[in-house]
Structure 1
């Protein structure tokens, strides 16, 4: 997986705060969306299919994960 992520172009949301308490997302990989912690860019990354990522983002937007 590391070889695949070597060409990932990670981006942080423009809505992120100044403390780097964010995730970064790479959507330039064919058939893959990669997510990592902005505080540890050389650390592990999670990988999702585009459909899984769309589903997750959709649920976050609707508040499905609110406590």
Structure 2
């Protein structure tokens, strides 16, 4: 489906390719408790990651407006 994802890559390469499986693996390694704590600490969007650490930014419940995202960056 995404051939550019089907190779070994650095984190920088994964960021450039928007390689979601890499992000998901990293999120699982961080864990739900720490991820939730840090998203709240930095005030990212509504800071609600729910109960699934590996897809909260894809399917919710995390929400962020374009304006909030621009201000965050």
TM-score band by shorter chain is under 0.3
The structure carrying a bigger strand percent of its residues is: 1
TM-score with structure 1 length normalisation? 0.24
